[in-house]
Structure 1
């Protein structure tokens, strides 16, 4: 019986993974690419449009202000209309808006389009995390989340050389950075339309599982939901007031300040560390791509190790601490040893990305259903405000001091603070 059950579980999880993870990975890949390609556009766009680092940092961060305002309302709407329709709406609208980035001329146009992009994409990530929680057992959460979240470093790893290549395209009266925005935005529209027909809102609706596999999965997840409700039986709104949710939101806020501060400025920081004549834009793209590829491997390993040990908070704290130390060290060693500085930046990226999957396995493990969706949206919404403050502070300090050192020290401190908050806020949750 145990052998049969094991075989049934194995085949079901394998089919769910094959069906959902590649498609959601691709959707999230395009989302991240359209979110961060602004960092590569800055290599040309800032000069063409005469944008200072402060203007760029504020514009890059405006995305997250729009994201913050619509994240929770968007998740509530997703719960009503279903993930399939909501993912379709999000991707089509942000793809069309991303095209408009190619035609900005002034700082205020820059701020406005970036803000609207955040509004359009709001609730996309929590929608996908919540969607996966409806098809996976808790013990498989971190690995499943890590698999589709590989799109974050993956979009940067492949997007770096792709974006720098597209920067070299000119014609029809458009500069390279304009072509880059257009060509990287159109896939979002196509994938959004595909999502409407490809995804299923409920296990009962799927046609790609056998009847026994569907029954086993529904029964297993129902038992888990009942067990969680015995611990915390919250409504959507009640989950938003839970102290653990609020503390995790604060921890995620400081983490994202550090993460997006470096993410949005990494091409500019990297270019400032080497002589422009010794490294072409394309080679710079391949170098940054390799750094993100290493982060992708680290993210996959940490997610798997976290599942194996059934432990989350220490994995998060160690990753963020390593990232903070390596990032700060890279800033002050760059003048003496550029190669070592790039290695430290790569280690910093590995730490910042490695923390994602164990962190996002925490909310669904103590909250259920709409409450879990609300909690994920709340954490992501407040946390992503760090994406507004981080790039702005980096740009401001760079213009103020003429160096990235003070800015990077600030980012490292933010991630250390995040690690402390997350460890302390989850210490009473026995499963972590």
Structure 2
């Protein structure tokens, strides 16, 4: 038995108390950082409601500018993650947040399409490796069996940022100060928190588990022991370096599936304010009222993320949770496009279901790489998957904008995005089949050894 403050703790209580402390220390802060990151990434969709008209941007120009963010993200994701393993996640996360805040503020002063493209590209460069940094960082503080729940803890920031940002961004569009339009203030005011958090991050986070002072000696020793044991077991299964992980079949399969998923995901997220504005015109909703409706849709997505992640951890299954969510998203997206012209309420219901599916797949998906890779290999794999996948964020918005200008309607675009979700689910369901069995077998073997 282990004692803590004179109280005898058995291994189960020690695990529970340690995990709780880690969660309370890290998840709320990383959630806040990620929320600001997502807000600065997707607020372009709300700015478009004014910016496109003020600057004379077509849907194709906007789609290219919205998507080119991910081209910069793609090019610097893997090199950035490699740098992170050398300088430490704490310093790298801090650097990322400060530089992207500065560039996000500069977005308020663009005037031409090329300035728009350049600023969005540089924003992607600045933010590259932020997400894999956070996943890699958390993997050093949690047992494998808690990964999905831990990842979901900060990843609900994705729908959370949209839930908060939807009414907030539409409100900021109404600001008219110092001869600057609302969309300009939107960029400036939503970037300032990133600058503040980037500075705080440097002092708040610890580089590694051994450095923490907010766990007792017993808790720290227990957590170091169990995480070290898991790392050794993973190395026995697949002992890869950073570079070798980039060529692994399972990693490449996950990258391809994530690419098609992000084509569908960002295609709808970047244009959702514009699509919703068009749908709501028949009901005479104000822009701000529409913002609240969108916020409610993202709240539903947040709840779905938590439910799916908890069920995935409980069943110790990842692959089919991902597939079920992506198929649901694709079906709902296509149905929404077909009923949009006849039933606005039903169209919004299916758009909400589609968002829930697209977001629900996140936690079980990102719990897969750390389950068979460790240390630098895991960092490299997560970076590659995220960079290739987010390249889909470049194609999705651009194709949606192009099809909209070509057809005059979003219906064909939404059908295309739904099909992209189906392709992603097929890749995860069938091409990852052997990997899924291997992951499940490794997990079962590990549990048997520790029981």
| TM-score > 0.5, shorter chain as reference | yes
CA distance in 1, matches of 2:253, 2:270: 26
CA distance in 1, matches of 2:20, 2:283: 49
Partner of 2:299: 293
Deviation larger for 296-305 or 416-425: 416-425
Give the root-mean-square deviation of aligned CA atoms.
0.9
CA distance in 1, matches of 2:370, 2:387: 16
Partner of 1:48: 54
SS in 2 for 1:428: helix
Q: Confirm whether residue 401 of structure 1 aligns to residue 432 of structure 2.
A: no
Partner of 1:109: 115
Matches within 5 A, 1:24-43: 24-43=30-49
Matches within 5 A, 1:133-152: 133-152=139-158
CA distance in 2, matches of 1:426, 1:386: 19
Q: Confirm whether residue 190 of structure 1 aligns to residue 196 of structure 2.
A: yes
Counterpart pick for 2:137 among 127, 131, 154: 131
SS in 2 for 1:233: coil
Counterpart pick for 2:87 among 77, 81, 87: 81
| Shift >2 Å, 4+ stretches | 429-432
Matches within 5 A, 1:332-411: 332-411=338-417
Partner of 1:90: 96
CA distance in 1, matches of 2:268, 2:183: 20
Deviation of residue 423 (structure 1)? 1.5
CA distance in 2, matches of 1:171, 1:191: 26
Matches within 5 A, 1:276-291: 278-291=284-297
SS in 1 for 2:207: coil
TM-score computed with the length of structure 1 as normaliser: 0.99
- Superposed CA deviations along residues 60-101 of structure 1, whole A, max 9, x for unmatched, are 001000000000000000000000000000000000000011
Q: Is the 8 A contact 2:280 2:290 kept in 1?
A: no
CA distance in 2, matches of 1:19, 1:425: 38
Q: Gaps spanning 5+ residues in structure 1: where?
A: none
Q: Gaps spanning 5+ residues in structure 2: where?
A: 3-8, 441-451
Deviation of residue 246 (structure 1)? 0.5
Deviation of residue 171 (structure 1)? 1.3
SS in 1 for 2:153: helix
SS in 2 for 1:174: coil
